[in-house]
Amino acid sequence: MCGIIGYIGPKNSLSVVIDGLKRLEYRGYDSAGVAFIEEGSIKTVRSAGKISRLEGLLGEKKSREFSGAVIGHTRWATHGGPSEKNAHPHKSGRIVLVHNGIIENYQSLKKKLKADGFEFTSETDTEVICHLISLHSRNLPFEEAVRAAVGELKGAYALAIMHESEPGKIIGVKKDSPLVLGVGEGEFFISSDASAFIAHTNRALFLEDGEMAVVTPEGFKIIHTGNGEPAAKNPCILPFGQGMAEKGGHKHFMLKEIHEQPRAVADTIRGRLGRGAEDVNLEEFGLPVEELKGIQKVIIIACGTSWHAGLAGKYMIEQMARIPVEVDIASEFRYRDPILKGNELFIAITQSGETADTLAALKLARKSGVKTLAITNVIGSAAAREADSVFFTRGGPEIGVASTKTFMTQMVGLYLLAMAAARAKGNMPPEQFKGMAQDLLELPAKIETILSRKPEMEKIAQRHFKKEHFLFLGRGIDYPVALEGALKLKEISYIHAEGYPAGEMKHGPIALIDEDMPALFLLPSQSALKDKILSNMEEVRSRNAQILLITDGEDKELEAVSNGIFIVPASNRFLGAALMAVPLQLLAYYIGILRGCDVDQPRNLAKSVTVE
Ligand code: G6P
The per-residue DSSP string of 99-129 comes to EEEEETTHHHHHHHHHHTT----SS-STHHH
Atom 7 in ligand 1: which residue has the minimum CA distance?
A: 304
Residues of the chain with confidence (pLDDT) below 50: none
What pLDDT does residue 345 have? 97
Backbone angles phi, psi at 493, to 5 degrees: -115, -5
What pLDDT does residue 63 have? 62
Q: Contact 48/225 with Cβ under 8 angstroms? A: no
Q: Contact 433/419 with Cβ under 8 angstroms? A: yes
Distance in angstroms (rounded) separating the CA atoms of residues 235 and 194: 12
- Out of 329, 349, 355, mutate this one to test ligand 1's pocket (max ligand atoms within 8 Å of CB): namely 355
Atom 15 in ligand 1: which residue has the minimum CA distance?
A: 350
Annotated catalytic sites, by residue? 2, 607
Nearest ligand 1 atom, CA 306: 16
Atom 4 in ligand 1: which residue has the minimum CA distance?
A: 304
Name the E strands within 309-460. Answer: 325-329, 344-350, 371-376, 389-392
What pLDDT does residue 247 have? 83
In SS3 terms, 583-611 reads as HHHHHHHHHHHHCCCCCCCCCCCCCCCCC
Q: Contact 467/450 with Cβ under 8 angstroms? A: no
Q: Which residues line ligand 1 (CB under 6 A)?
A: 303-306, 350-352, 355, 358, 401-403, 605-609
Q: Contact 283/107 with Cβ under 8 angstroms? A: no
Nearest ligand 1 atom, CA 491: 8
Nearest ligand 1 atom, CA 305: 10
Distance in angstroms (rounded) separating the CA atoms of residues 259 and 405: 8
Residue 375 alpha carbon to ligand 1 centre in Å = 13
What pLDDT does residue 284 have? 81
For the stretch 493-530, pLDDT in tens is: 999 999 999 999 989 999 999 999 999 999 998 888 98
Distance in angstroms (rounded) separating the CA atoms of residues 329 and 524: 27
Continuous H helices in 151-278: 242-246, 253-259, 261-269
Nearest ligand 1 atom, CA 402: 9
Q: What is the DSSP string of 74-105?
A: EE--SSS-SSTTTSSPEEETTEEEEEEEEETT
- Out of 303, 362, 379, 399, mutate this one to test ligand 1's pocket (max ligand atoms within 8 Å of CB): namely 303
Residue 405 alpha carbon to ligand 1 centre in Å = 13
List, in sequence order, every residue forming a beta bridge with 334; answer none if it has no partner: none
Residue 606 alpha carbon to ligand 1 centre in Å = 8
Q: Contact 17/70 with Cβ under 8 angstroms? A: yes
- Out of 254, 257, 301, 306, mutate this one to test ligand 1's pocket (max ligand atoms within 8 Å of CB): namely 306
Distance in angstroms (rounded) separating the CA atoms of residues 515 and 537: 14
Atom 11 in ligand 1: which residue has the minimum CA distance?
A: 608
Residue 306 alpha carbon to ligand 1 centre in Å = 7
What pLDDT does residue 62 have? 63
Edge to edge, the sheet with strand 180-183 lists 41-48, 31-38, 70-75, 3-8, 188-191, 180-183, 203-206, 236-237
Residue 409 alpha carbon to ligand 1 centre in Å = 14
Residue 356 alpha carbon to ligand 1 centre in Å = 10
Distance in angstroms (rounded) separating the CA atoms of residues 9 and 183: 10
Q: Is 62 helix (H, G, I), strand (E, B) or coil?
A: coil
Edge to edge, the sheet with strand 389-392 lists 325-329, 297-302, 344-350, 371-376, 389-392
Q: Contact 330/352 with Cβ under 8 angstroms? A: no
Nearest ligand 1 atom, CA 330: 15
Residue 115 alpha carbon to ligand 1 centre in Å = 45
Non-local CB neighbours of 601 within 8 Å, separated by 6+ positions? 401
Nearest ligand 1 atom, CA 355: 15
What pLDDT does residue 79 have? 82
- Out of 258, 403, 409, 487, mutate this one to test ligand 1's pocket (max ligand atoms within 8 Å of CB): namely 403
What pLDDT does residue 246 have? 76
Residue 607 alpha carbon to ligand 1 centre in Å = 6
Q: Contact 298/345 with Cβ under 8 angstroms? A: yes
Which of these, 331, 285, 284, 336, lies nearest to 307 by C-alpha position? 331
